[in-house]
Amino acid sequence: MKHTFIFFVLFIVIAAAIPATVIAATSQDVVYIGKDEVIDDNVMRVGNTITVDGKINGDLLAVGNIVTVNGDVAGDVIVVGSTIKVSGTVGGNIRAFGMTVDITGATARNVYAFGRDITLGNTASVGWNLVSGAQTATLQGTVKGNAAVYGGTIAVGGNVEKKFTGTLNDAGTLTFLPTAKVGGDLQYTGVQSATIQTGAALSGKTVHNVPSQSVTSAGGTLSASWVFAKLIGLFALLFVGVIVVSLGQRLLRRVLDTAHTKSGKTFLTGILVTLLTPLGALILLFTLIGIPFAAIALSLYAMLVYLSKIIVGTYLGEYLLNRMKPQKDAKQARALFWPMMLGTTIVYCIVNIPTVGWMLGFVAALWAIGAVVETVRSSSHQPHP
């Protein structure tokens, strides 16, 4: 139940993050919004290096390798990247998914930050609540609501005005520095006891929950580190999904249309590709000249298996959204960003169900792989102008 609850909370966080439409969209290697630039719309930017020094009177969605937000954003900041730095003032929420996330500005509402290293700097302030999952998390700023942190090494040196909740992995540590203040209760789960240094002010009661050695289910052994690894896997999958939708939405739409109109044929094609690819690669390995081709074939197949969750998830998300609220606007109905985020999260949770999850994922992969192959075949048979 605990692990299901974590996935459910994550789903709600992501679901709330996505605006119905993204107005201004750009994809390029270097993206820069200057200090004197004011954008009165929701903004989406995809690139290698993204720097926002100007003002955005709306939401910001940025996907890149290095993302820096120095300017003010009136709405939400939704960022996926390797290195993320937010020093500007945010009027809504921050939702950041990256390897390194550094927040030093003021956020009016909530902060959801997930990655390898998460830092809330001395000058940072969070108007409502903080939720974070990281291998290393450092909290130096002010959180005016509750703080919930999942991870390995957690250090608190700032001010949490309400409750602090910590969930540590098997070897995780929790340290309260001399400057730390917690206005509410401290509740944490971990093998090791928290280190509370002299000067730290903890106003409420402290509850230390020691987990059992393992939580065993019919499908195997689940632990805090297992959950954390799965969460990181989901973030990585969503990161790839955002790139696919941003840069290849037209192709993805054609794949989905093929999967819908030729569902039986795509499934059979997926079975054939799954059977023939390893066999063909094995044959090529026996010839010296064929080794590179075998490696390429296996790599492409592995990539298709990985992308299959995104393809099936987008299809499922679009189906569910259309059932809940049919779209009259053709452009809005064809947008795939929100369906991808919703459906991919659901599919990822399903394939990680013990015992039956891998079977459902295998069937979905066959269908998605077949849809991609049939789409490519159809394109190659179309006459060129």
Q: Give the single-character DSSP code of 288.
A: G
Using DSSP's 3-state secondary structure scheme, residue 37 falls into coil
16 contact partners, CB below 8 Å, separation of at least 6: none
13 φ/ψ angles, rounded to the nearest 5 degrees: -60, -50
- Tell me what pLDDT residue 4 has: 38
Instruction: Select from 178, 179, 182 the least CA-distant residue to 166.
Output: 182
pLDDT of 332 reads 45
Q: How far from 18 is each of 7, 243, 290, 363, CA to CA, in Å? A: 17, 15, 46, 29
CB atoms within 10 A of CB 213: 9
What single-letter amino acid sits at 34? G
* Residue-by-residue pLDDT tens, the chain, 385 positions: 344 344 434 444 444 443 333 334 444 678 999 999 999 998 888 778 999 999 999 999 887 789 999 999 999 998 878 899 999 999 999 999 888 999 999 999 999 998 889 999 999 999 999 999 888 999 999 999 999 998 889 999 999 999 999 998 878 899 999 999 999 999 999 999 999 999 999 999 999 998 865 443 433 344 555 666 777 788 788 878 888 887 788 899 999 999 989 888 998 999 999 998 888 888 888 887 888 888 888 888 889 999 999 999 999 988 887 877 665 544 444 578 878 888 898 898 888 887 788 888 899 899 999 999 999 888 765 554 5
Per the listing, tokens 């009016």 go with 108
Q: What is the pTM of this model?
A: 0.63
Contact 95, 77 (CB under 8 A): yes
- Tokens 């909370």 appear where? 9
Distances in whole angstroms, Cα of residue 175 to Cα of each of 111, 160, 171, 198: 21, 14, 13, 11
Nearest partner of 373 among 315, 316, 297, 317, judged by Cα = 297
